[in-house]
Amino acid sequence: MSEHETTSEGTGEPTRRDFLYLTTGMAGAVGAVAVAWPFIDQMRPDASTLALASIEVDVASLEPGMSLTVKWRGKPIFIRNRTPEEVEAANAVQLADLKDPIARNANLPVDAQATGVDRSGGKGKENWIVMIGTCTHLGCVPLGQAGEYNGWFCPCHGSVYDTAGRIRKGPAPENLAIPTFSFVSDTKIKIG
Ligand code: FES
């Protein structure tokens, strides 16, 4: 083997033959995508199907103090089995102290107030909280059991939510939104 050939191999440069092969391969890939697209497009559900989409979440394994994040309609949904202390802390807050006194609970009238109960799974299910995990400021995903109120904290610009997901400090204007949900059994929550 000549000295020149050794150097050429060492650089790892593609040879002319390799280049032609790669070019052909790319043309093939583009062709495959062009053919596959119409099929994918047909499989996409229409808007009415998407609007109806709901999910059922088994929460049997969530002990008090445990949380779960699931995805629904492309959004993170926080489900938390709150501790008695968290429920108590949320219920002790006066509405007058809230930045946003509206429940923002899709299961209640639009003007329902943000009491501890109306932010939760309701009477008898006050330990449960189900919320869309999107900060009402600019849409970051807040961190759980963090911040001054040990609720949720959005690190993007410092919004602080309490143990009922109500905005208490920072730039976010509204409480974390509560989606439509119901208990289909004691351990199963239907969202949507
Ligand atoms: S996006 Fe949460 S504080 Fe700005």
Q: Is 160 in the pocket of ligand 1 (CB under 6 A)?
A: no
**Which CATH architecture group holds 50-191?**
3-layer Sandwich (2.102)
Q: Which atom of ligand 1 is nearest to the CA of 135?
A: 2
Domain ranges of the chain: 1-44, 50-191
pLDDT score of 53: 86
pLDDT score of 14: 52
* Given the residues 36, 157, 187, 188, the one annotated as active site: 157
Model's pTM, two decimal places? 0.74
Q: In sequence order, what are the residues at sequence separation of 6 or more whose Cβ sits closer than 8 angstroms to the Cβ of residue 92?
A: 116
pLDDT score of 6: 41
Tell me which amino acid residue 161 is: Y
Reported as a single tens digit per residue, the pLDDT across 36-92 is: 444 554 555 555 555 558 999 999 999 999 999 999 999 999 999 999 999 999 999
CA of 179 to the centre of ligand 1 (A): 20
Catalytic residue list contains 4: no
CA 41 vs CA 46, 49, 51, 103: distances in Å: 10, 15, 18, 39
Task: Tell me which H or E stretch contains 87.
Answer: helix 84-91
Q: Is 172 in the pocket of ligand 1 (CB under 6 A)?
A: yes
Which regions in the chain score pLDDT beneath 70? 1-52
Q: Which atom of ligand 1 is nearest to the CA of 170?
A: 3
CA of 127 to the centre of ligand 1 (A): 26
Q: Is 141 in the pocket of ligand 1 (CB under 6 A)?
A: no
**Which of 131, 135, 161 has most ligand 1 atoms within 8 Å of CB, for mutation?**
135
